[in-house]
Amino acid sequence: MPTKILPEKSEITVIGGGIVGVTIAHELARRGEEVTVIEKRFIGSGSTFRCGTGIRQQFGDEANVRVMKRSVDLWKRYSEEYGFPFEQTGYLFLLYDDEEVEAFKRNIAIQNRFGVPTRLITPEEAKEIVPLLDISEVVAASWNPTDGKASPFHSTTAFALHAEEFGAKLVEYTEVKDFIIENGEIKGLKTSRGTIKTGIVINATNAWAKLVNAMAGIRTKIPIEPYKHQAVITQPVKKGSVKPMVISFRYGHAYLTQTSHGGIIGGVGHEEGPTYDLSPTYEFMREVSYYFTKIIPALRELLILRTWAGYYAKTPDSNPAIGKIEELSDYYIAAGFSGHGFMMAPAVAEMVADLITKGKTDLPVDFYDPYRFERGELRGKALQMG
Ligand SMILES: Cc1cc2nc3c(=O)[nH]c(=O)nc-3n(C[C@H](O)[C@H](O)[C@H](O)COP(=O)(O)OP(=O)(O)OC[C@H]3O[C@@H](n4cnc5c(N)ncnc54)[C@H](O)[C@@H]3O)c2cc1C
């Protein structure tokens, strides 16, 4: 179980105990490295336990498709090994005009090239998959049955417990306050519970990443800003009512699916920020009710049980910053995941662990180069909903 006792020293320290920090620690510990995670609240308490559960390979660029293909392999493997549910119930993008269809055909071609079996289907086929859909305006849909969803609670906890079994230390309710640096070399971290000696630090604080970079004295421009995104869950309905994640860009950039408890979970593209405020808003509730019922009219019969907010930690191209920051030895960042950090985490962990233990990785980590902002080399915007 995670502890509040800070070890005196750790070879590697991960700041931030969300799914990204936890899976990085899990992967490093699995490879025999000495690693500690320091989390200011409790494991998962940042964006991770507030996410919409979705895991997809349907992206519009090669790097994200390849990384997510690997991530899905790892989600499958660890869900089987550790016994948490990862359901490959698919992602269904509803398309409403020729322009959208053409854009998705291009995405599908990229996905197919890397072995992701997405295909364009008819509105009627989409309705066979989700009989409750209103397809009166839908002209086609992009369907990949190997996308899926997982509970952030079960999965993050399983990765955390197994990381500990491999020897990682997970320290909760401990905030990193400052770095101890001598001649450009990290010597330790000052925390709210004392000091830890450490040589390698990974900034996995996502929405707070710029604050930790500032603490470390990093001058490289890595723009990651916190934006408030909200979500809802409804009362439970009959199991199997909405198996895949259903997406509609036409109707509010909405995404929705059914959780294993039976409620419909999801959100829309109602974004506020940059802000650290997380209070739920009436405007979001109005939008989510309107857009959800345009996609599935029967949802108007349901009560929303709970609404909450979390952060999309956004970069200008909605792709994360992953890699080594050369200003300090040895400082790494894996942050700025926008609306897709939960799904990416297992592959991100592999990339970061590869960089630390081997100095290179087979996955296309250069795409997420933290220096691209400084060089003005933004990537195409990552496909994002919500
Ligand atoms: C409404 C909503 C829906 C979403 N839906 C999806 C989805 O369907 N699929 C998907 O893949 N992603 C989704 N996301 C995005 C996803 O939640 C995030 O990308 C992901 O959780 C990021 O994980 P993380 O570990 O990087 O960050 P976090 O979970 O935010 O973890 C960072 C941690 O760092 C800690 N921390 C910060 N500063 C310090 C410090 N100084 N010292 C110690 N600890 C510190 C914080 O307390 C926090 O726990 C959604 C997000 C929201 C808000």
Q: Which fold has domain 90-145+225-314?
A: D-Amino Acid Oxidase; Chain A, domain 2 (3.30.9)
pLDDT of residue 272: 97
Nearest atom, ligand 1, residue 20 CA: 25
**Token pair 């994200």: residue:** 64
What's the CATH code, domain 9-49+153-224+317-375?
Answer: 3.50.50.60
Question: Which ligand 1 atom sits nearest the alpha carbon of residue 22?
Answer: 25
Closest CA to 227 of 159, 146, 121, 311: 311
Query: How far is 267 from 250, CA to CA, in rounded Å?
Result: 14
Tell the residue nearest (CA) to atom 35 of ligand 1: 16
User: Is the confidence at residue 314, as pLDDT, over 80?
Assistant: yes
Give the percent of the chain with pLDDT over 90: 98
Domain ranges of the chain: 9-49+153-224+317-375, 90-145+225-314
Q: Which atom of ligand 1 is found nearest the CA of 338?
A: 19
131 Cα–ligand 1 center, Å: 33
Residue with CA at minimum distance from ligand 1 atom 32: 205
* Ordered DSSP codes for 297-338: GGGGGSPEEEEEEEEEEE-TTS--EEEEETTSBTEEEEE--B
* Exposed / middle / buried, residue 166 (Cβ in 10 Å: 0-12, 13-18, 19+): middle
Distance in Å, CA 186 to ligand 1 centroid: 25
Contact 57, 95 (CB under 8 A): no
What does pLDDT average to over the chain? 97
Interval 235-293: pLDDT, tens: 999 999 999 999 999 999 999 999 999 999 999 999 999 999 999 999 999 999 999 99
206: left (phi over 0), alpha (psi -120 to 50) or beta: left
- Best probe residue, ligand 1, of 22, 47, 384 (max atoms within 8 Å of C-beta): 47
Q: What is the pLDDT of residues 318-374, one digit of tens each?
A: 999 999 999 999 999 999 999 999 999 999 999 999 999 999 999 999 999 999 999
Q: How many angstroms separate the alpha carbon of residue 335 from the centre of ligand 1?
A: 9
For ligand 1, residues with CB inside 6 Å are 15-21, 38-41, 45-48, 50-54, 175-176, 204-208, 212, 229, 231, 267, 310-312, 335, 337, 339-343, 386
By DSSP bridging, strand 9-15 and strand 304-314 are: unpaired
Residue 2 has pLDDT above 90, yes or no: no
Which of 15, 192, 205, 229 has most ligand 1 atoms within 8 Å of its beta carbon, as the pocket-test mutant?
Answer: 205
User: What are the tens digits of pLDDT across the range 116-161?
Assistant: 999 999 999 999 999 999 999 999 999 999 999 999 999 999 999 9
Which residue's C-alpha comes closest to atom 12 of ligand 1? 340
Over range 33-37, report the average pLDDT: 98
What is the pLDDT confidence band of residue 5, given thresholds at 50, 70 and 90?
very high
CB-based contacts of 183, cutoff 8 Å, min separation 6:
none
Residue 289 CA to residue 267 CA, distance in Å, equals: 10
Ligand 1 center to 125 CA (angstroms): 35
Among 15-24, 43-52, 194-203, 376-385, name the one with the lowest average pLDDT.
Answer: 376-385
How much distance in Å is there from the Cα of 97 to the middle of ligand 1?
34
From ligand 1's centre to the CA of 315, what distance in Å?
14
Atom of ligand 1 nearest to the CA of 245: 8
CB atoms within 10 A of CB 217: 12
What is the residue with the minimal CA distance to atom 3 of ligand 1?
Answer: 51
Angle made by CA atoms 370, 205, 202, in degrees to the nearest 5: 60
